[in-house]
Amino acid sequence: MDEMRRIRKALIAKSAGLVAVLYAYMLFILPKARERTPRIYYGPPSERDSVRQCNLSYLPHGSTNCLNQLRMMRAPFFQLCNLFRDRALLRDSIHSSVEEQVAMFLLVVGHNHRFRALQPTFRRSIETISRYFREVLYAVGELRNEMITALTTQTHMKITTNPRFNPYFKDCIGAIDGTHVDARVPSAISAAFRGRKGVPTQNVMAAVDFDLRFTYVLAGWEGSAHDALILADALEKDDGLSVPAGKDYLVDAGYAARPGFLPPFRGCRYHLREYSRRNYPHDMRELFNLRHSSLRVTVERAFGALKNRFKILYNRPFHPYKTQVKLVLACCILHNWILQFGQDPHIPEEEELEDSSDKEDDDLEEDNISTAQ
């Protein structure tokens, strides 16, 4: 017992001595070492900083240049930066402003640039550009709940003011369709992502209102997944797609007829290019399909505008697959943000989609119907 006490007292004495030595080091020796360390004084900007500021000021300079480089006009760009700054989603630093961080992100998603391609413009390291890219991607994703949502369930003016659609589609609040976005995945799982095009893609399902705004987006499914399976998954999710009572979404023939979803008649002509002044509809079913196609082209215009604006969705991206899924959602959010400030040349007209998109839909519907059978 006495031996244990002596050992305890010895340990206490050694601990007290160690604390005293550390205290003396921090009180006397460390301050003198700091005094000998040369201090860093900030001087005038270097030539690299001057070039960086010049390039950054040139990007949003002028509406045309801002639209070509950053894929949006000056007003939405600067208001988006101010929104991130006000909500503390992004912050200025002594090295980089919020405008520079957002410009890096927009150049990547707008032109599918690699990070090393931005080094001559921003004079930053690849690590710095990658870090800011992830921060802006997270900031854009935080706007999802307020940007990807249905603003109203009222009948749109496009229907109420057109006797071709009213009152036959008076309960329609939008259109639903899927699109394939090129994906880069490991070779071990690439077979599941290969659809009819033979290249890995992710199948993205989206609901669009008649203002070309995305009201729901589900990304991440393999390119070989059936559209009906993706729709079923969207309806089963807790925060998934919900159809208001008494309302409908226009869908193509790849989806089944069910409450809330209005497909065209099968076995009848459907696409706009199949009709003309000499080849007019012969019965009520063909007339319904013609007007259904004329109204559902809205979702094709939305997808066309999305891929025209953000080329990262039109090419194989240089990012992990989880990031690719987030990028699809981010591009849809930015698309809705830009539409608040009016339309721009990236949105295709309906006439431009009659031939190209309808032919693609024909192939997709044949695949979907054959798979369902």
Write the pLDDT tens digit of every residue in 277-312. Answer: 556 666 788 888 888 888 998 999 999 999 999 999
Domain contains 68: yes
| Predicted local confidence at residue 327, as pLDDT | 95
What are the backbone dihedrals phi and psi of residue 158, each rounded to the nearest 5 degrees, phi first? -60, -25
Low-confidence ranges of the chain (pLDDT < 50): 41-43, 355-373
Running DSSP on this structure, what letter comes out for residue 200?
B
Q: At what angle do helices 98-111 and 74-86 cross, to 10 degrees?
A: 130
The CA-atom distances, in angstroms, between 196 and each of 40, 172, 222, 223, 311 are 60, 31, 12, 8, 21
- Is position 16 within any domain? no
Residue 27 covered by a domain = no
Q: Is the N-terminal amide bond of 348 cis, ω within 30° of 0?
A: no
Instruction: Please tell me whether residues 137 and 251 are part of one structural domain.
Output: no
Give the span between the Cα atoms of 322 and 342, in whole angstroms: 31
Q: Do 181 and 252 fall within a single domain?
A: yes
Number of domains within the chain: 2
Give the DSSP H/E element, type plus range, for residue 32.
Answer: helix 30-36
Among 98, 121, 142, the domain boundary falls at 142
Phi, psi of 315 (to 5 degrees): -135, 170
Whether the CB-CB separation of 310 and 326 falls below 8 Å is answered with no
Count other C-beta atoms under 10 Å from residue 24's C-beta: 11
Tell me the two tokens of residue 312: 């990262």
Residues 76 and 135 occupy one common structural domain:
yes
DSSP per position, 280-333: ---SHHHHHHHHHHHHHHHHHHHHHHHHHH-GGGTS--SS-HHHHHHHHHHHHH
Note whether 203 and 74 are same-domain residues. Answer: no
Q: Is the residue at 69 inside a domain?
A: yes
> In terms of domains, do 167 and 281 share one?
yes
pTM of the full structure? 0.79
H or E element that contains 228: helix 227-236
| Cα separations in angstroms, 156 against 165, 172, 174, 249 | 11, 8, 9, 13
- Is 132 found in the same domain as 157? no
Which residue in 88, 101, 94 sits closest to 132, CA to CA? 101
Residues 163 and 85 in one domain: no
226 in a structural domain: yes
Angle at which helices 47-58 and 98-111 pack, to 10 degrees? Answer: 60
Last residue of a domain, one of 113, 142, 171: 142
Residues 221 and 252 in one domain: yes
* Tokens describing residue 174: 């939008």
Give percent above pLDDT 70 in the chain: 83
Q: Are 179 and 225 in contact (CB under 8 A)?
A: no
* Unique residue bearing structure tokens 């539409």: 339
**Could you tell me if 190 and 256 lie in one domain?**
yes
Shared domain check, 154 and 117: no
- What 233-241 contacts at long range (C-beta under 8 Å, 24+ apart), as own/partner pairs, is 234/205, 240/216, 241/207, 241/216
Show the domain range for 262: 148-322+339-372
